[in-house]
Structure 1
Amino acid sequence: MRIHDLRPVLLRGVAALALIASGPAFAQPKPPPLPRVGGSAPGNTAGLPTAKPPALPPVAFNRPPAVGGTPERRAVSSGTGFVVAPRRLMTNAHVVEGCTEMRARRPDGSDVVARVDAADRTRDLALLTVQTDVGPALNFRATPGPRRGETVVTYGFPLAGLLSSGPSLTTGSVSALAGLSDDPRQIQISAPVQPGNSGGPLLDMAGLVIGVVVSKLNAQRVAQRTGDIPQNVNFAVKGQEALAFLREQNVTLTPQEGREPLRSPAEVGEIADRSVMFLRCFR
């Protein structure tokens, strides 16, 4: 989900402890602006208003350093994306922040260049385009909305260069129907996520997308302040927010109703596998 995080933002109560980056190894000053894409006026970014956009939600973003690169450019971070329409990928806005080039790795191991078409800092979502088919689109769920206690699956590429080079699957449940400080655009989940999971799909047990993984709580920093270690407190952007963002970019999808029978986590992973991409940010 690159070493890049926002500085802590102090809020009231224990919630402030979750607003810090993934730790000293991931600290960085104010992030660079999103890259300009073709046709943008100077100082503007496609998909963003001309006025200064609101700051990204101050949460712990999941972006590890990436490996590889070329003499001209080097990979500085990595994340996860997934196919939402033919040749269109979704990820987090913070995954593409400051990148001069994005590359997506297909399941067969080959790379394709991905162009950043739009990014929404408020929702922390971005839309990319590739020039070749990279897999089938994952389907979003229309109704019902996420439910507390509902079992969910994440699928992505955590800790690139340290863990397996292939995708990782984790399971958990929906813990709360709002994010940090009651953010209505997000849900809280217990499924473990790590740096590199950012931008990956959050799936229900029918294999439908109900969210986009975005961040995790900084358990170490919370423990330093409270003496207690929080467990499995992570966040995802709600699927309805992702669908609204896609509609704004003229990507029309037909969400599906939640359906039976439910599948096993392994079966959900098989659905996701053809559609989830490893993303690298180059500068």
Structure 2
Amino acid sequence: MRPLHAMLVLSCLIGPLPLAGLSSQAVAGNGLIQCYDPARELVTRTRPDLCQGRAVSEAEAQRIRERRRDYVKESLTANVSPGVIGKRLIGAGTGFFVDRRGTLLTNAHVVKGCSLLTVSRPEASTQPAQLRDLDFSLDLALIDTELQPPRMATFAPAHQPMPDEITIAGYPGRSSTTLTPTLTTGAIPQGGTRASAARPLPLKANVQPGNSGGPVLDPAGRVIGVVFAAVDTKRVYQQTGQIVRHVGLAIPNAIALGFLKRNGIQPRIDDASPPADAPAPDLLEATQGYLARIECWL
């Protein structure tokens, strides 16, 4: 077996740059050098035979350290994940599992223009994901992951009348550091609107950035639509003079279920309405099992 010190010397000799020809600034009086490891973007002062990269001058070492410091600072302010080096987070939204194979349903605009998609859940590290299908005309998309969710979402039938009260589940806020879903209660302005209508479903709820792609739930916890927009209150005021607050839009099941069927997915559908005196389900506990945050990187 080759001695360890010989292997270290060989590693240094076959590195990008040999030590020969370095200025007196690169080799200090004590024989140590500034060693640049490009894989880690790191400069350390070490012995020449221990250098796992290339030797650089003091001036270049200082420039590399400043570059690394600026990158870390930018990462913290721009929400760049340490696990996605060289990528910038340009958006985030919500998705929910529609089968046991790890397929997520979300909005097309959540994944638009992404060079990389990642998915985050409480019980698993952030993992890359693959776009499976998207339809901008419907604003729906499917994402394949290697995650195995503990449960999948349950849908209400497309023909079932809409409830008066609803709950939105998702991850509002791009810079959120927690993966616990946030529940937002609301209502449907026109009670009794049927989900079979092939038009956006109005919501009286505080829809925020990050909620896009999340499920709209009835009191029994069944999905009745997919959040996709909040009304631009500033623009409405400029055009009409009316102040409109907390109004969102959702894609009804009549459209979402058709999109899933087109992709060969058979979601769980529960057509049994719970009794009026049935206890309310724990929606926070239920949604934690099938929600995920989707991150879009460029």
The TM-score, its normalising length taken from structure 1, stands at 0.69
8 Å contact kept, 1:213–1:235: yes
Q: What is the CA–CA distance in structure 2 between the aligned matches of 1:163 and 1:215, rounded to whole Å?
A: 23
- What residue number does 1:228 align with? 242
Following superposition, the deviation at residue 191 of structure 1 comes to 1.9
8 Å contact kept, 2:220–2:274: yes
Range that drifts further, 128-137 or 187-196: 128-137
**Kindly tell me: are residues 191 and 111 of structure 1, through their superposed partners in 2, closer, same or farther at Cα, counting changes over 3 Å?**
same
**Kindly tell me: are residues 66 and 203 of structure 1, through their superposed partners in 2, closer, same or farther at Cα, counting changes over 3 Å?**
farther
Q: What is the CA–CA distance in structure 2 between the aligned matches of 1:239 and 1:106, rounded to whole Å?
A: 25
**Kindly tell me: are residues 98 and 216 of structure 1, through their superposed partners in 2, closer, same or farther at Cα, counting changes over 3 Å?**
same
- Unpaired segments of 5 or more residues in structure 2? 1-76
Q: How does 1:268-279 map to 2 (within 5 A)?
A: 268-279=283-294
- What residue number does 1:257 align with? 271
Following superposition, the deviation at residue 68 of structure 1 comes to 2.2
Residue 207 (str. 1) matches residue 221 (str. 2): yes
* One-letter identity of the residue aligned with 1:126: A
Corresponding residue to 1:68 among 80, 99, 106 = 80
* One-letter identity of the residue aligned with 1:231: R
**Kindly tell me: are residues 146 and 110 of structure 1, through their superposed partners in 2, closer, same or farther at Cα, counting changes over 3 Å?**
farther
Alignment partner of 2:208: what SS?
Answer: coil
Percent identity, aligned pairs only? Answer: 32
Q: What is the CA–CA distance in structure 2 between the aligned matches of 1:239 and 1:127, rounded to whole Å?
A: 15
Alignment partner of 1:159: what SS?
Answer: coil
Residue by residue, what CA displacement relative to the aligned partner does 1:91-137 show, whole Å, maximum 9, x if unpaired? 00000111111111112252121110000111110001111313311
Corresponding residue to 2:295 among 274, 280, 283 = 280
Residue 216 (str. 1) matches residue 230 (str. 2): yes
Alignment partner of 2:270: what SS?
Answer: coil
Q: What is the CA–CA distance in structure 1 between the aligned matches of 2:216 and 2:143, rounded to whole Å?
A: 18
Q: What is the CA–CA distance in structure 1 between the aligned matches of 2:212 and 2:183, rounded to whole Å?
A: 13
Alignment partner of 1:112: what SS?
Answer: strand
- Unpaired segments of 5 or more residues in structure 1? 1-64
- Structure with greater Cα Rg: 2
Q: What is the CA–CA distance in structure 2 between the aligned matches of 1:101 and 1:174, rounded to whole Å?
A: 35
Corresponding residue to 1:244 among 252, 255, 258 = 258
The CA RMSD over aligned residues, in Å, is: 2.4
Following superposition, the deviation at residue 224 of structure 1 comes to 2.7
Q: What is the CA–CA distance in structure 2 between the aligned matches of 1:263 and 1:103, rounded to whole Å?
A: 36
* One-letter identity of the residue aligned with 2:237: A
* One-letter identity of the residue aligned with 2:156: R
**Kindly tell me: are residues 71 and 245 of structure 1, through their superposed partners in 2, closer, same or farther at Cα, counting changes over 3 Å?**
same
Alignment partner of 1:244: what SS?
Answer: helix
Structure with more contact order per residue of length (Cα contacts < 8 Å, sep ≥ 6): 1
Following superposition, the deviation at residue 241 of structure 1 comes to 1.0
Residue 137 (str. 1) matches residue 152 (str. 2): yes
- What residue number does 2:109 align with? 94
8 Å contact kept, 1:83–1:135: no
Q: How does 1:164-175 map to 2 (within 5 A)?
A: 166-175=180-189
Following superposition, the deviation at residue 174 of structure 1 comes to 1.5
Range that drifts further, 204-213 or 250-259: 250-259
Q: What is the CA–CA distance in structure 1 between the aligned matches of 2:262 and 2:279, rounded to whole Å?
A: 32
Residue 117 (str. 1) matches residue 132 (str. 2): yes
8 Å contact kept, 1:66–1:77: no
Residue by residue, what CA displacement relative to the aligned partner does 1:25-58 show, whole Å, maximum 9, x if unpaired? xxxxxxxxxxxxxxxxxxxxxxxxxxxxxxxxxx
Aligned residues: 214
Following superposition, the deviation at residue 231 of structure 1 comes to 2.3
Range that drifts further, 109-118 or 198-207: 109-118
8 Å contact kept, 1:144–1:258: no
**Kindly tell me: are residues 162 and 169 of structure 1, through their superposed partners in 2, closer, same or farther at Cα, counting changes over 3 Å?**
same
Residue by residue, what CA displacement relative to the aligned partner does 1:159-205 show, whole Å, maximum 9, x if unpaired? 222686632111111124499xxx83321011211011000001111
Q: What is the CA–CA distance in structure 2 between the aligned matches of 1:130 and 1:257, rounded to whole Å?
A: 28
The TM-score, its normalising length taken from structure 2, stands at 0.66
Alignment partner of 1:93: what SS?
Answer: coil
